[in-house]
A and B are shown apart, each in its own frame.
Chain A
Amino acid sequence: MADSDLSRFRNVNFAGTVSVGANSGTITVDGVELPCGIYNATIANCVIGDNVRIANIGSTISNYHIGSDVLIEDTASLAADTDSSYGNGVELDVVNEAGGRGTILFNDLSSQTAYLQALLRHDEQLTKNLSSLIKAKIAKTKTAHGIIESHVRITHSGSIHNVNVMQFASIHGALFLENGTVLSCKEHPTEIGEGVHAKSFVLAEGARVDGGAMLDKVYVGQGTKIGKQYSAENSLFFANCEGFHGEAVSLFAGPYTVTHHKSTLLIAGLFSFYNAGSGSNQSNHMYKLGPVHQGIFERGCKTGSFSYVLLESRIGAFSVVIGKHFTNMNTPNLPFSYIHEEGGESKIIPGMNLFSVGTVRDGEKWPKRDNRKAANKRDLIIFDVFSPYTVEKMRRGRNELLALSESVPKEKSFVNYGGLQLNRLLLRKGAKYYTMAIHRYLNDKVCSRLSDALGHSKSWKDAAAQLRSKKILRQPKNWTDLSGLLSANERVASLLDCIRKGDIVSYDQITQELERIHSSYRDDEWEYVCEAFAEEYKAEPSAMTKTQALSAIEEWKNAAVSLHSMILEDSKREFGDFAKIGFGLDQLQEDAQRDFDAVRGTIETNSVVQKLTSEGKAIEQRFSEFKKLVEGSVE
């Protein structure tokens, strides 16, 4: 206490060994600047840094190392045991409520390493080695005391037991916190607000948990918000998720899983880029062997208000589920579909979501809504809606639909596909939609690369050479989605092999390898494009003649214009007669229109429609530019 002003210790009891730094400064408490020091508190076995204010502690602050510029005021207790691991090492039963997919909670968890832990349980050696590497990582950070880092604020809170709080975090009005870690940084402080009750948790940088949320065995990722009485247990929420009002049990919420409404239960499922309508519900229980059923909602799915999905089910990427479904659905090869209920039957319209304006808006909003400000982005995310992952699924789906259309007799109105009724008439229609999207994607990628190459050299031969695939991947068409990270399967297989064989000796090495997979995405994507393009058009992009290139450009334009026009038409439906129901209440007909215009705007003024219209013009312009470049090249 050499540098301490002893007059700034009032009504303080010390126990065990306590050291306190300088305390001459001031600190702002609820808007008022107050002196540092210790007031009305019992302090046991603590190391306290410079310019800390501790005041009005109900029982004790014990066994903590407290950094400088910290405020702890009006808090019931802050105590740490000598053998606590602060939430690290707790096993969460995700995806399957009955267990079997235990995922270790710890500070360095990411959506990718959680996926590897939870979803690959058939590989015993991998699971064993991965678990050992994680436990070794946890052991390295273990301390015999709790940590409150510099610039932390803890005010008006209840009991805090075995909780580490990292720099710049703020805890105010929390009810009860036990066995957890609050990761935080200057760039993105983490916040725990009023009424929070949390046990066995890790909160990543920039997370915000408030509004009486109740957490039990939960990870909250970077930039994620949980509040408004949300309740979650055995659940993981990775980057940029939002959970309000509802409930999560055994949930693996990959990046951008969003649930805002009451009565929404997300249970025993894997989700990402997902949006839950109010009252969305899944069943993991058939009253036989207990809650053993699991659900896979591939990236980008939405469930409508009061939708119900019977698990086990696997819903294809970017699909919309409307209504209640009492059948096990399995549609990974029909992404971008509408799954709806009609007369108690579950039906699917394949590819219909390809021209929903909502899909376009989602694809654009996710990168813009990346809240993460910490320098170290823990979850690796590839945002592309159209990627080798989704496009190859569309290619498989298209082929399945065409094969079915050949084999199903005309007398049959519906066929069963993955547990759903599919109108026979939509077999060819769905295949057509998928073909349009596949060709738009492939030709867009080829034309863009060709355009870049011709921008550097007018020689057709040189430009064509730039389109060659590096052919590093042996199976460029097989892709997977590691909860946000799209990757060629074989890259993941290679990483798993190294973990299995013991060639990877630390958890940090795993994260480095995952980062390499993330940075190889564009090159790997190009390999996929070359392979799929060759299959679709019987020629590799690098072997195209100028005539073939012009035809690719034409095909890209036609598919892009067609899909774009359908999206524009979809957006205009928002201004149709149905949209105007309830406007201009008890007024004249023309008032209804004027009320609608005042509230919703007009087709001409709507920003989304305007944007889509200008994008339509951009397609035409891009087409002209591509064409000019190719025509101007020298053979």
Chain B
Amino acid sequence: MSQRKKRSRGLGQLLIPLVAMGLLLIFNLFRDPGFFSIGIATNNSGNAVLTGNLISIIDSASELAVISMGMTLVTAACGGQDISVGAVGAISGAVFAKVLLGFGSITGATVVLGFILSVLATILFKLFNGTLVAVFRIQPMIATLILYSCGRSIAYWINGDATPQLNSPILSAMGMTIPGIPIPTPIFAVIIVGALMALIFRLTTTRLYIQSVGINQGAARLNGINPVAMKLLSFALLGVCVAVAAVIGVSRLGQLNHKTLLVDIEMDAILAVAIGGNNLGGGRFRLSGSILGAYIIQMLTTTLYAMSVAPVNVKTYKAIVIIIIVVAGSPVVKAKLTALLNRLCYAGLPSSAHKGVN
């Protein structure tokens, strides 16, 4: 029985998001089988690219998927969410653009340099948040409210009023497709970041440490784990994710707009974490759940667009679906459903049998 419990706990967290995604896919299958068609088209620069709704979902959810991975770590370690990722992402984009514009020419070397500097700057800003949270013990949401309200202004200050255009084949290869490879490049970025995270958590004890800090900070400290260091680490990793997402966002558009880059992504990222079945109060986490959550959100948006819902009305339907998903995942509803299921399966047996199953 204990084995069965263990197995169900492993899948349990992913059950709701998997079912949600499956329902969305089935819904699309009945609505319009053409939704799943994947074709090859030639884009403006003459490259063969894969087209189709599925590709566009996976492609355009890249920034969200990357950020929600980092958000999961911060949530797990600190028991709170970072609401400044969009604003700090604008800063990383601004640093990236500043470096490229400063050199005047966009070559492979300057792009790499710009990326590295952007990552460093973002980590710096995230460590500011992290210090407030870890050392000063301020609620994450409040601590990140500071950069939420002034982050985009800092991005504006770095680059001036303009929305600089960054046209270069290198950037379009990073943001759209590399010539010769029909798969959009941002997908590779998600895979690389995900693989690196998986490596970190497989090869080191970081996962255990972060979880134990999130579950009980005092107990973790008594066991020799430094809670401050773990929280700072989670914020630094989130910083890397934000910088990657910002660079994808800038190169996708070929320009930097500090007002619209990664706008409102913090809310979607927190939603992705929650839909993925992670506890927003910290503790155990699954990155795969959050990534799945990010793709569900994007699939929902794309499905609504494909049903020709006006873009301004998408939010309403999104809200309704989110409420349904979180209600289905709520512990109270889950317990009720399990009880109902047990009663159906063991209808004729005396009550001791129910207890044996539970």
A binds B: no
Interface on A for B, CB 8 Å cutoff? none
